[in-house]
Each structure stands twice: as C-alpha cells, then as structure tokens.
Amino acid sequence: MVVGLTGGIGSGKTTILKYFKSLGVPVYIADQEAKALMNSSTEIKQQLIRLFGDEAYKEGVLNRAFLSAKIFSDKALLQKMNAIVHPKVAAHFKTWLQQQEAPYVIKEAAIIFENNHQDQYDYIITVIADEALRIQRVMARDGATEDKVKSIIKNQWSDADKVKASDFVIVNNSLKEAKDKALQIHNSLLKKLNP
C-alpha cells in the first residue's frame, strides 16, 4: 500500500516522516530522489542542459540556485523540467517499492495535488501548521525572507483545499500532538490492511 504524505512549505513534513520511519515505515522522499537523479543520470543531465544551457550544471553538479531562479517565474519552463525529471523519479520509485517488505510505504511529495497525482496513492496524509509558524520555520531553516516564503505559500494549494482532498490530516503546531496523531494514523492504516 502506498501512502502519500504532503503539506505546504514549513508544515514540518520531514519531522513527521522521521517519526513514521521510527515506526518502521519505509519512506521515499520524492524531492531528495529527484535531486539525486538530476546529479547522477546522464540522460537527465543532457536534457536539462539542452533546456537551460550549460549553466544548469557547475563542475558536473546541478546548479540549483540557477535553476530555481529560472523556473520560479516561468511556469512553462518548470513544466518542461518536470516532464524530464518526474517520469524518471516515478520509475525509480517503482523499483524501490518492489524492494520493500513493510505493510505500507510513505512517499513524500510536496505537490501531490498541484500535479494532480492523488490517484497514485491508496491514502493521502496532509501535514498542516499555522501560517505564521510555517513562515518562521522556513526563514530559520533556509534563511529566506518573509516575502519569499509567502510567495511560495501562495503558489501552493491552500491547507483548506488539501485537507478536503486528504484521507488523514496531521496538525503540526505541537510536536507531541503531531506524533500522537501520526501514531493513530499508523495504527489505522495497519488495521485497514488487516481488518
């Protein structure tokens, strides 16, 4: 069974994932794997250089700052990049999934709904948190400005929309409550598998 885990920037997805991992659940972080593939796959490298030019890579390593700046304001370019990277990540995930023996796995992806990928999951968990707290977390983590974080939040689906489309919701304003909720979800997923 494949469970999707999503949530807006700064909602604390990574923290919740670590907790699920501590419960023995295999976890696949789509964004991390995409970055790894963008650095290791010759085919992806060639296609990205064709799309963005030689500046896409610096000394053979993905030039993330350059790419972020390029795609941030250009939706068409972002879609072209995703069309190169997403199918490779999907294939990588399939291979990874076949090697797992746990009752269920979690695949974390920040934009499940934005990319209309919800049908790829048996269940979806959304992590939410108060916007002020999310902004604070991202500013501390990335050194980003408040305006930059707000503009990223604006580009993502609202928490209200995500909640409506999700099977489970974890409110991550307090770590203890969030972990308690994650444990409840874990037990309820195991029950669904073995009624």
Beta-bridged to residue 123, according to DSSP, are 3
Neighbours of 84 (CB within 10 A): 18
Res 68: pLDDT: 87
Q: What is the tens place of the pLDDT at every residue in 132-169?
A: 999 999 999 989 899 989 988 888 889 999 999 999 99
123: left (phi over 0), alpha (psi -120 to 50) or beta: beta
Q: Pairing state of beta strands 123-128 and 57-58?
A: unpaired
Residue numbering of the annotated binding site: 10-15
Res 63: pLDDT: 95
Q: What is the tens place of the pLDDT at every residue in 70-118?
A: 987 788 998 899 999 999 999 999 999 999 999 999 999 988 998 889 9
Res 195: pLDDT: 81
Res 22: pLDDT: 97
Location of structure tokens 């610096």 = 58
CA distances from residue 38 to 15, 51, 88 in whole angstroms, order as listed: 25, 13, 9
Q: What is the tens place of the pLDDT at every residue in 37-67?
A: 999 999 999 999 999 999 999 999 999 989 9
Res 170: pLDDT: 98
DSSP symbol at 163 = H
- The helix (run of H) or strand (run of E) holding residue 47 is helix 42-52
Band of residue 20 on the pLDDT scale cut at 50, 70, 90 = very high
Res 189: pLDDT: 97
Whether 194 shows a pLDDT value over 90: the answer reads no
**Nearest-angstrom CA–CA distance, 141 and 133:** 12
Residue numbering of the annotated binding site for ATP: 10-15
